[in-house]
Amino acid sequence: MDAITMIKERRSVRKFKNEKVDRETMKEIVSISRWAPSWGNFQVARYTLVDDKKTIKKLANDGVNGFVYNINTLKEAQGVAILSFVKGKSGKLDGGDYITSKANVWEVFDAGIACQTFCLAAHAKGVGTCIMGAISDESISEIVGLPEEKTVSALVVYGYEEEHPAPTPRKDVDDIMRFVEV
């Protein structure tokens, strides 16, 4: 699959086949995700994967603030990647103070790049994903036992697509870009 097709045809998948994705495949996907760029190459993104129905049910019951839409997707999922990041590193050099006005926002920025890289890698390997941001970070941390120095960035449900979703609309390129000369 070429890069342009991969970017354009990745969709958020919310209906999955009743077929497990083996752990080796998921390991390969994370191994590809590691190539995401990051602040200072600190590589703060972390991936905690669950693929048993009992834990996925706990995440559905307590991890999405009762948001029914996400509960229903989680019921379908064959696995969930809990994406997190190590706090307090991005935005600094050599462990000193933050060197930009965005301060620790850069760690969330890193987490976002890692998340999209993970979803694209999964898509390239034939695995569908859906990012979830309507979640309860604290409950999820508790369920999967995330250590203090890390925080949840997103849930990404995964599995083999039941059917490929139709394309979602995009803004016109002229509405989102401009060249300037000053």
Ligand X SMILES: Cc1cc2nc3c(=O)[nH]c(=O)nc-3n(C[C@H](O)[C@H](O)[C@H](O)COP(=O)(O)O)c2cc1C
Q: Which residues here bind ligand X, judged by CB under 6 A?
A: 11-12, 14, 69-70, 73, 130-134, 165, 168
> What is the nearest approach in angstroms of ligand X to the Cβ of residue 53?
20
What is the spatial distance between Cα 179 and Cα 182, in angstroms, rounded to a whole number?
Answer: 10
Query: Cβ neighbours of residue 179 under 8 Å, at least 6 residues apart?
Result: none
Q: Which is nearer to ligand X, 119 or 144 (CB)?
A: 119
> What is the nearest approach in angstroms of ligand X to the Cβ of residue 117?
13
What is the spatial distance between Cα 115 and Cα 132, in angstroms, rounded to a whole number?
Answer: 11
Q: Which is nearer to ligand X, 74 or 144 (CB)?
A: 74
> What is the nearest approach in angstroms of ligand X to the Cβ of residue 181?
32
Q: Which is nearer to ligand X, 21 or 157 (CB)?
A: 157
Pair 91, 39: CB distance under 8 Å:
yes
> What is the nearest approach in angstroms of ligand X to the Cβ of residue 90?
18
In which residue are the tokens 């342009």 written? Answer: 4
Q: Which is nearer to ligand X, 40 or 137 (CB)?
A: 137
Of 135, 132, 130, 131, nearest in space to 62 by CA: 135
